[in-house]
Amino acid sequence: MNASKELKEIFFETKRLLSAYEEMGLEPPMLLRGGLEFAKGPVLQKPGLPSTPSNGTEKSPPPSLKDAAPSPRFDSLEALRAHVGDCRRCGLHTGRTNLVFGEGNEEARLVFVGEGPGFDEDREGRPFVGKSGQLLTRIIENGMGLKRNEVYICNVVKCRPPGNRDPNPDETCVCLPFLKAQLRIIGPEVICALGRVACQALLGTAFAITRDRGHWRAYEDIPLMPTFHPAYLLRNPAAKRPVWDDVKSIMEKLGLEVK
């Protein structure tokens, strides 16, 4: 792609993201505001004349998750769900059957966060209902001795990424305020982040799940346990042992009896 086309794509993508923030009534992150100024500036008007010398290999950085907008403030999940509405704030809405907001106890002590809905979740409009969801339910009910409806289960993005790919940073940036608002309303004692994408979104940093799982972290002062996604466990049954160790740590933190 030549420099002119690349700059135009950056401009239109920045405009699209800013429209999404405007629609949500949120202040766009500095990075996007700066991006628009950049796109409006002389570089766009003269795409063949970059303002700084280039070797032609630089790429514009993706929006940082740390730049995600502040989350909207609502008193209840019902009010937040109404605000999310028939959301079209990012491109993922085009491929969804149902928006998967999340489900469970609004006063849950424990929240599980995955990355995004899969095929079954998209079809049913509920989180973690396919094979990996059934495994998560067994972990909650058989392993922890809780009922599924005692905890809260949701994802970073609420609409299914095509082909179950990871959500893009810009999609995550636009949707993340909803997850943050859910967590603020629920105020859990512990968050269990399932897989790398959920850990990165909540911790705002690159994360190597194989290396870093099992070590307590914090999301806004709430203890966060990173562990493998159930879909990974279905492909790698040997990983069930370390996940059980992580689950036991969560139970100890919650004061639940570990059998």
Amino acid letter, residue 144: M
- Applying CB under 6 A, does 175 fall inside the site for ligand SF4? yes
C-beta atoms surrounding 144 within 10 Å: 21
- Applying CB under 6 A, does 154 fall inside the site for ligand SF4? no
How far apart are CB 255 and ligand SF4 at their closest, in Å?
34
Q: Which of 109, 126, 158, 213 binds ligand SF4 (CB under 6 A)?
A: 158
DSSP assignment of 58-122: --PPPPPGGGPPPPPP-SSHHHHHHHH-S--SSGGGGG-SS----EE-TT-SEEEEES---HHHH
- Applying CB under 6 A, does 159 fall inside the site for ligand SF4? yes
DSSP letter assigned to residue 256:
P
Total number of residues binding ligand SF4 (CB under 6 A)? 14
- Applying CB under 6 A, does 126 fall inside the site for ligand SF4? no
- Applying CB under 6 A, does 251 fall inside the site for ligand SF4? no
- Cβ 155 vs Cβ 102: under 8 Å: yes
Residues 50-109 close enough to bind ligand SF4 by CB under 6 A: 84, 87-90, 92-93, 99
How far apart are CB 25 and ligand SF4 at their closest, in Å?
14
Closer residue to ligand SF4, CB minimum distance, 31 or 234:
31
Angstrom distance (rounded) from CA 34 to CA 52: 16
Angstrom distance (rounded) from CA 250 to CA 192: 8
How far apart are CB 176 and ligand SF4 at their closest, in Å?
9
Q: Which stretch binds ligand SF4 (CB under 6 A): 35-43, 133-141, 153-161, 242-250?
A: 153-161
Which helix H or strand E contains 191, and what residues bound it?
strand 190-194
Applying CB under 6 A, which residues contact ligand SF4? Answer: 84, 87-90, 92-93, 99, 157-159, 171, 174-175
